[in-house]
Structures are given as C-alpha cells and as structure tokens.
Structure 1
Amino acid sequence: MARVLVVNIPAEGHINPTLGLVKQLVDCGEQVVYVCTEEYRDKVLQTGAAFRAYPFPMDPFSHDPDLKPAPYKHPSQFADMVVRGIIQKIIPEALKVAEQDTYDYLIFDSLMGWGGTILAQRLGIPAVCSIASFAFVDPLGAEQDYYEDFGGNDANLYASTMELAHQLARQFNVPVPSIQELTKHAGQLKLVYTSRYLQPKADQLDDSFLFTGTSVVPRLDAPPFDFEPLLDPNRKIVYISMGTILNRDLAFYELCFAAFQQLPFQFILSSGRDTDMTPLAAYIPDNFIVRPYIPQLEVLERADAFVTHAGMNSVSEALYYDVPMVMIPLTSDQPLVSNRVQELGAGITLKPSTLTPETLRDALLQVLSDRSYKDQACVIGESLRQAGGYVRAADAIIRTFSTVEQK
C-alpha cells in the first residue's frame, strides 16, 4: 500500500477526469491525499481520498488576468501562462501543503507543466502526469492554422517568461528548464483520458503515454433534474453547454433562442451557476429547458446532439455516449479538439466570429440529418469505452510504482 499525492488545478474539466482514478486507487488500498482548492473538497471526499486545500481565489480562470483563457497566437503565450499563472501562483502553496507529510509517488495535472517536476524533485518522489486534454505533441499556439500572426512579440515574451523561470528555479533550488520543458508532459507515466484513435499525432508519442479513454463516474453532486420531458421517442434532444468558465455570454444564448425556437426538438441549456439569465427570461422559447447547472452525463446519455465550446472534458463525455456535436471553440485547446472531432467526422466546427442564427441552425440540422456524424461518433465512442478507463489507469500506476519500490 502506497501513499499517493494528487495535486490539481481548480478547474472542473481537470478535476472530473481524475475522480474515477482516485476512487479506484483508494479501492485498491492506496492512501490518497488530494490537494486542490477548497471549493472541490466535497467532490474529492466522495472518492474516499483525504483532502488538503491550498489557498487560491475562487473561479480564478474567470477573473485572474494571467489565467483567463485566451486564444494562443504563439507558443510563448502558452508557456507564459503556465509559468506566470500556474507555477508561480499554485506550486509554492501546494508545496507548503505537501511538505507536511511523506508520499511514495505524485500525480499532477499536465497544465502545471514544469511545476509538476518541481514538486516531484522537491519531494523526492516519482511522478505521473494527468493529461485532461490531448497530449500536446506541439505546444499550444504552434498550430498557426488556428491563430493569427503574433506580430513579432515572441522575443519579449520569451525573455520575460524565462526570466521568471530562472527566479523560480532559484527559489526552489532546482535546475533551470528550457522553454520547451516549461510545458512538456513530464513524469514516468503520462495518463491521457482519451483513446489513441482520437489523439492527434498519436504515432509521435512514446510508450510512457497511456491512453485510458474517458473517465466517467457518477457525480454525486449533480443537481436533481426532471427527465419527464425527454421521454418522447419522437422528439430529438439537443444539449447546449459552453462549459464552466466562458459561459456568461448572454448574446450567445439569445442567438441560440433565435436559431432554434422554431425547431421541433427539445433543447436543454446549461447556463452556468454564476450566469444571470434574468435579462433573457422573457425570451426563452417553449422548446427550451434552461438551468444554471445540468447533470451533464445523464443528459448526454439521452441526447441526439450537443452544441458545445469543445472543451476536452465535455467532448470526451459526449463521444463516450456516441453524441455528435456542433462545436464553437473559444480558446486554449478548444480549436485543436474541435478540429480533430471534425476531421474524424463526428461534428461540425463553427467560428465564433462569424456565428449567426442561420449558420448555427444549419449546422445542427446537418448533424442531426446526416447519419454519418452519428456513426463516426459511435466509432470514436467505442474507442473510448474500450480503452480501459480508470481501472486500467490505476492498475498501470500501481504496477509501475510497486516495481519501483521493489527495486
């Protein structure tokens, strides 16, 4: 039996994929201590793990300028976000908590980048990298098809980022990293919560990357929901959600109402816990159910299509249930995710800058009427379900580190 330290960032899409793994490790006899912010205490405790909190502002990805999601036009922007927004702010606080005890191995979120290496080196333990998106063969911002020209500002940003990295290396008494190492997936084992089939450029990743598929476990904190309106087998169900961070755009919701109000489908819209829908209350069509928080897994299990921001967690859960998508990527890795799903034929990508009620309605009708989108979603879904899930992930971790202990 090993003592396991899990350190994560305060983001729903990074927490949720780890919950099945943590519960499985606990069920296998491992002693797991999960370190994150206070708002995730109850969710983590339901897995059977112990919980420790590091101090951090609530909802930082919505309010902190260093963490607020933005399109990355150059790889240096992503590296700077990791160093300035996450490593500088989270790692010192997480380390204070972690150093209060001893552990046999570490599981850290990939968005911590070099920060995970700092934790492992300071604690003197091996590490597992938890990758809640695709494994990045190229850093975000390197895909110039998605982003505008950065305007020659990369040299200044590079210098600023590396200066901070040197300061942090001195602070933690660890070797200075290269710019590539700041965002590199480190660790003896890298868990990727997708399938090798869905992962772009999977042939360029070595055997330390373990593709375990979507991690789907019941969410005990899911709100009650009346599924009675969804029982009509002749009425298609369309779920709409823009995730938990960039979900306060009332203009987008108004556009959805205009696009879909005449369609004979049942729409379910998750507006977000902190979104004030009062200004739109009088405009919600009769074929819409609007709630601040929806039990997403249960709705996707019944849905015929999903209108989404193409966050990796949401896309993975939709494909796990064979649901084709209309994707409107907004930031970060979302263009990469939506592009891959479209490339494999399971959805349509729309640009937010040119979105109209007509283009949105036409895309949804195409996804629902052309059977190929559903068929391809099923192909991807099967690859996710057959990847082994959190059971395979936990088994691989335990075998890897029991071998290390024996040596």
Structure 2
Amino acid sequence: MARVLVVITPAEGHVNPTLGLVKRLVDSGEDVDYVCTEEYRTRIQQTGAQMITYPFIDDAFSKDSDLKPAEYKHHYQFVYMMVKGMILPIIPEVLRVIENRTYDYLIYDSLMGWGGTIIAEKLGIPAVCSIASFAFVEPLGSGQGMNDNDPEVKKLYTATMQITHQLANELQVDAPAIEEIAPHGGRLRIVYTSRYFQPQAEKLDHSFIFTGPSIVPRKDAPSFPFEQLRVLHPQAVYISMGTILNKDLEFYKLCFAAFRDLPVQFVLSSGNYTDMEPLAPCIPDNFIIKPYIPQLEMLQHVDAFVTHAGMNSTSEALYYNVPQVMIPLTSDQPIVASRVQELGAGVVVDKNELTPASLRAALLEVLSHPTYKEQAHVIGESLRQAGGYRHAADTIMSHFSTIEK
C-alpha cells in the first residue's frame, strides 16, 4: 500500500476526470490524501480519499481576473496565468496543509505546471501529471499572432519571471526558465482522451498514457424528468456552456430566438450562479431550463449538444456518440472544437459571427445529416476502448510497484 498525494486545480473540468482514478486507487488499497478546496468536498470524499482543504476563492475562475478564461494570443499569457493565478496562491498553501506528512508519489494537475514539480521536489517523491485537456505539443497560445518582441509580451515575461523568482526564493527551490513552467512534467502523464482524438499524438512519447474520459456516476447530480424529453417533439438537444462561462444571458436569448419554432425539445443548463429571472417572460415553450443538469445521463438521451467545447463536456458527449454544435470561447476550446470538426463529429460556429440564423443553421446541419452521429460514434468508440480510470489507476500502481521492486 502506497501513500498518495493528489493535488488538482479547483475546477469542475479538472476535478471530475480524477474521481474515478482516485476511487480505483483507494479501492485497490492505496492511502490517498486529496488536496483541493471545500467546494469539492462531497464528491472527493465519495471516492474514499482523505480530503485536505486550503483557502481559495469560491467560483474563482469566474471572479478572479487572473484566472478568468482568456483567448491567448501568445503562450506567455498562458504561463502568466499559471504562475500568478495558480502556482503563487495555491502551492505554498498546499505545502502548508501537508506539512510533516509523507507520501510515496504525487498526482498533480497539469495546469499547475512548475508548481507540481515544486511539491514533488519538496517531498522528495516522483510525480504523475493529470492532463484534463489535450496534451499540448505546443504551448497554449503559440503561433496566435503576437511575437516575442511585442511590448506586451516583454511586459508579461518580466512580470512572470519576477513572480517566479520571488516564489522560488520563498520556497528555496531553483527558479525555472519561462519555457520550463508550463510543460507537462512527471514520470507518467495521464491524458483523459484517446490517441485517435489527441492532435499530433505521434509527437508524444510513451510516458503519455491515453485513458479516455473518466466516466463515473456523480452521486451529487440532481434528478431529471427524462420521460418528458420526447413527449412533444421527436428530437432533443442539450445546451450547456460549462460551469465557468454560463452567465451570458445574451447568449441564452440568442438561443431562444434561434430555436423557439423548431420541433425539438431543448434542455438548457443555466448554472447554479446564473439569475435567469430577467429572461422568464421570453423562454420558449420548447425549452426546459434548470440550474444544474445530470450531464452524463442527459447525454445518453439527446440527439445533439450545443456547447462551448470544453474538453470535459466534449469528451463526455463523444463518449455517448453525441454530435455537437460548438461555440469555442477561450483557452483550449478552439483546439478542441477544431479537432471535433476535423474528424467530422460536429460544426464550429465562430463566436464573433454568432447570430440566431448561424446557430440555427449549424444545429439543423448536425441534426439532418447522420454522418455527424456516425463520426461521433467513431471517436466515442476510441474513447471507450482506451480503458478509462481503471487503466489510468492500474498503470500508475504498476509503474510504482515495479520501481519499488
């Protein structure tokens, strides 16, 4: 039995993929401490892991300007977000709450980058990197228009390295070069997708373990009247913009205008923190709106998914063979959406050209042509065959038991 430390970014799309993995480790006899924020206590404790918390802003990715998802034009913007928004406020707190504890290995979130390396170094243990999106062959934001001589880029470099050296001095570790902050570290890199779906997979070595999405029941998910889905209409469509980017009432009004007269039942997940009351008078009869939808169950009942193309939501939809209309907004979403469209499982709608007519046309395209469903099934089969959380956990345990011997 090994003692395992798990440190994951406090966000739905990063915590959820690890839950099956952690439960499998616990059920196999590993002693797991999971360090995260109070917001995720219930679902983490359901894995059997010991929960250790540190203070952090609730709904931080919506409220903290350093963490708000952005459209990166240069990879230094992404690195700055990691250092200022993640590593600086989180890593010292993690080290504080685990002080005097010993572990055999670490599993840390890729969004923490160099921060995971710090924890492993301070504890003197090997690490595994948990990658909740695609593995980045190139840093996020590379080749997007800004060059290294841009004054804004130089300013970002200076600010990033200033924080990096400050933290390195505080924690008594070596400061990395800026190119060493974001890359996926660790002896193993667990990627919750398939080699087929991963762009440029041929450029990634065998330390990248592709396991597919971690599909496990979420016991905290509310019930939903699925029997109502096809009472009035033969097709059903699910709309969700994730848990961070779901407060845009103008987008919801656009959906109402685009879809109100279609013979389709729509289910919209508005988010727990979104006030929908101002829109109450204009909600069409063919819409069911709830703040939180049991997404895994919903995706097994719908014909298409309108989404922001977050990696978690996209993978879950493809796992259940659901074609998609994608409106990528920030971060890695354009990459994810582009890959789905490239493989023929969905249509991308440019957020800058989004109108009721363009959104309606994209949905009708997906619903009217079976090839989108067929290609979603091809990707879905690759995800289902990847092994899931069992493969991830068994690979990790096998790796470290071999080292011990």
TM-score with structure 2 setting the length: 0.98
Structure 1 stretch displaced more, 5-14 or 154-163: 154-163
Find the counterpart in structure 2 of residue 335 from structure 1.
334
Find the counterpart in structure 2 of residue 293 from structure 1.
292
Pairing 1:9–2:9 present? yes
The alpha carbon displacement at 1:152 in A equals: 4.1
Find the counterpart in structure 2 of residue 32 from structure 1.
32
Identity %: 66
CA contact (8 A) 2:230 2:265 kept: no
- Matched residues in 2 for 1:297 and 1:303: separation? 11
The alpha carbon displacement at 1:100 in A equals: 3.6
- Matched residues in 2 for 1:97 and 1:9: separation? 16
The SS at the match of 2:225 is coil
- Please provide the CA RMSD for this pair: 1.3
The alpha carbon displacement at 1:99 in A equals: 2.1
- Matched residues in 1 for 2:128 and 2:342: separation? 30
- Matched residues in 1 for 2:177 and 2:349: separation? 36
- Matched residues in 2 for 1:405 and 1:174: separation? 27
- Residue segments in structure 2 that go unaligned for 5+ positions in a row: none
Find the counterpart in structure 2 of residue 389 from structure 1.
388
For 1:394, give the aligned amino acid.
A
C-alpha distance after superposition, 1:259-308 (max 9, x if no partner): 00000011000000000000101111111000000000000011110000
CA contact (8 A) 1:99 1:123 kept: no
For 2:209, give the aligned amino acid.
L
**1:330–1:179 CA distance, 2 compared to 1 (3 A):** same
CA contact (8 A) 1:22 1:49 kept: yes
The alpha carbon displacement at 1:181 in A equals: 1.2
For 2:335, give the aligned amino acid.
L
- Matched residues in 2 for 1:256 and 1:282: separation? 14
Pairing 1:359–2:350 present? no
CA contact (8 A) 1:73 1:149 kept: no
For 1:329, give the aligned amino acid.
P
Moved over 3 A (4+): 147-152, 231-234
- Matched residues in 1 for 2:241 and 2:285: separation? 21
CA contact (8 A) 2:233 2:264 kept: no
For 1:404, give the aligned amino acid.
I
C-alpha distance after superposition, 1:201-247 (max 9, x if no partner): 11111110000001100000001211111255961110000000111
Pairing 1:81–2:81 present? yes
Pairing 1:139–2:106 present? no
CA contact (8 A) 1:7 1:107 kept: yes
Note the 1:152-171 alignment, pairs <5 A.
Answer: 152-171=151-170
The alpha carbon displacement at 1:143 in A equals: 4.0
Count of residues in correspondence between the two structures: 404
- Residue segments in structure 1 that go unaligned for 5+ positions in a row: none
- Matched residues in 2 for 1:103 and 1:157: separation? 36
TM-score with structure 1 setting the length: 0.97
- Matched residues in 1 for 2:28 and 2:235: separation? 41
- Matched residues in 2 for 1:312 and 1:216: separation? 13
For 1:369, give the aligned amino acid.
S
Find the counterpart in structure 2 of residue 227 from structure 1.
226
Pairing 1:57–2:57 present? yes
Find the counterpart in structure 1 of residue 378 from structure 2.
379
CA contact (8 A) 2:232 2:265 kept: no
CA contact (8 A) 2:236 2:266 kept: yes
- Matched residues in 1 for 2:343 and 2:100: separation? 47
The SS at the match of 1:94 is helix
- Matched residues in 1 for 2:82 and 2:96: separation? 19
